[in-house]
């Protein structure tokens, strides 16, 4: 797609009903780019977890959340990271580009518990969805008492939490800033997402193709996500050799 330039360009894609900052871009990659990436994901790198499969590139972080700096494989870089650059998505992170990608695969009925991504990374995640659609559930992370206080102060009403973001195949979701640090995200382990409409899906009006969710229903298939991040700590020796250290 024709992407506008820089931070101002990304603003056009902000999900306005959610706390800053979530951005949703449908058709961020083409169907042939999607097929080519799915084809190149290595079959022998999967780690099977109880409700999904996962692989980590270039490698898993150490116990101290350090990345052994190494280049990402080319199929994860082009054309995706060039488009990130055009939109300025990682312009404010320490390495000004992603250095780490988690690939998650969810089959029908699988999901991930509500969680936050934590302090190992700069507070930006860019998620490219492949293969199938599903809803990311967004909730506040306070205790019940805090949530209640927020709702009394009108915060919940202002931002309509909890809510869902529908992630279509080939779309990009960017989570940044307060949305990264102060909210939880998860994926319900269900065989279909139901009740999809403007009032229940934060990005309903931004979808590339609402027509496929007839009667507000999304029958899950297999969905693969690529989550791009900038790991803060990159191991010194490797990062010097590879020229990937902090600038």
CB of 115 to ligand AKG, least distance (A): 7
Q: Closest Cα to residue 175, out of 124, 113, 101, 129? A: 124
Return the residue matching tokens 């915060």.
155
Residue 127 interacting with ligand AKG (CB under 6 A): yes
Q: How many CA atoms lie within 13 A of 195 on its CB side?
A: 5
Residue 159 near residue 9, CB atoms below 8 Å: no
* List 99, 163, 227, 239, residue binding ligand AKG (CB under 6 A): 227
The β-bridge partners of 219 are 192
Look at residue 218 and give the partner it binds from Fe ion, ligand AKG, none, a contact being a CB closer than 5 to 8 Å depending on partner kind: none
Kindly state the helix (H) or strand (E) to which residue 214 belongs, with its residue range. none
Query: From its phi and psi, is residue 10 left (phi > 0), alpha (psi between -120 and 50) or beta?
Result: alpha
Look at residue 72 and give the partner it binds from ligand AKG, Fe ion, none, a contact being a CB closer than 5 to 8 Å depending on partner kind: none
Cβ proximity to ligand AKG, 73 vs 118, nearer residue: 118
* List 112, 135, 138, 201, residue binding ligand AKG (CB under 6 A): 112
Cβ proximity to Fe ion, 220 vs 229, nearer residue: 229
- Cβ within 8 Å of residue 70, ≥6 positions away: 58, 59, 238, 242
List the helix and strand counts (H, then E) for the chain: 8, 15
Look at residue 166 and give the partner it binds from Fe ion, ligand AKG, none, a contact being a CB closer than 5 to 8 Å depending on partner kind: none
Residue 114 interacting with Fe ion (CB under 5 A): no
Cβ proximity to ligand AKG, 140 vs 239, nearer residue: 140
Q: How many CA atoms lie within 13 A of 7 on its CB side?
A: 5
* List 70, 102, 232, 242, residue binding ligand AKG (CB under 6 A): 102
Return the residue matching tokens 């871009």.
25
- Pattern 155-194, binding to ligand AKG, x per CB under 6 A? ------------------------------x---------
Q: Using CB atoms, what's the residue nearest to ligand AKG?
A: 225
Q: Closest Cα to residue 97, out of 213, 246, 209, 220? A: 246
Determine how β-strand 233-234 pairs with β-strand 66-67: parallel
Look at residue 225 and give the partner it binds from Fe ion, ligand AKG, none, a contact being a CB closer than 5 to 8 Å depending on partner kind: ligand AKG
* List 33, 117, 147, 155, residue binding Fe ion (CB under 5 A): 117
Which residues form the interface with Fe ion (CB under 5 A)? 117
- Chain residues binding ligand AKG by CB under 6 A are 102, 104, 112, 117, 127, 136, 185, 225, 227
């Amino acid at each position: 797609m024709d992407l506008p330039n820089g931070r101002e360009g990304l603003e056009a894609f902000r999900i306005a009903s959610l706390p800053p900052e979530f951005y949703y871009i449908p058709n961020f990659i083409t169907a042939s780019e999607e097929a080519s990436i799915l084809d190149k994901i290595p079959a022998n790198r999967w780690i099977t977890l109880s409700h999904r499969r996962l692989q980590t590139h270039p490698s898993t972080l150490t116990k101290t959340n350090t990345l052994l700096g190494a280049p990402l494989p080319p199929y994860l870089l082009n054309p995706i990271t060039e488009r990130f650059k055009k939109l300025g998505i990682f312009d404010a992170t320490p390495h000004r580009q992603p250095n780490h990608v988690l690939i998650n695969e969810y089959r029908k009925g699988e999901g991930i518990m509500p969680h936050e991504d934590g302090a190992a990374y700069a507070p930006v995640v860019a998620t490219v969805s492949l293969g199938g659609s599903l809803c990311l559930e967004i909730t506040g992370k306070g205790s019940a008492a805090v949530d209640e206080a927020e709702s009394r102060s009108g915060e919940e009403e202002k931002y309509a939490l909890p809510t869902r973001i529908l992630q279509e195949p080939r779309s990009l979701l960017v989570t940044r800033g307060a949305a990264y640090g102060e909210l939880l995200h998860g994926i319900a382990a269900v065989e279909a997402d139901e009740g999809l409409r403007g009032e229940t899906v934060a990005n309903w009006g931004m979808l590339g193709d609402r027509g496929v969710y007839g009667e507000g229903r999304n029958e899950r298939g297999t969905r693969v996500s690529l989550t791009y991040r900038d790991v803060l700590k990159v191991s010194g020796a490797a990062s010097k050799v590879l020229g990937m250290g902090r600038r």
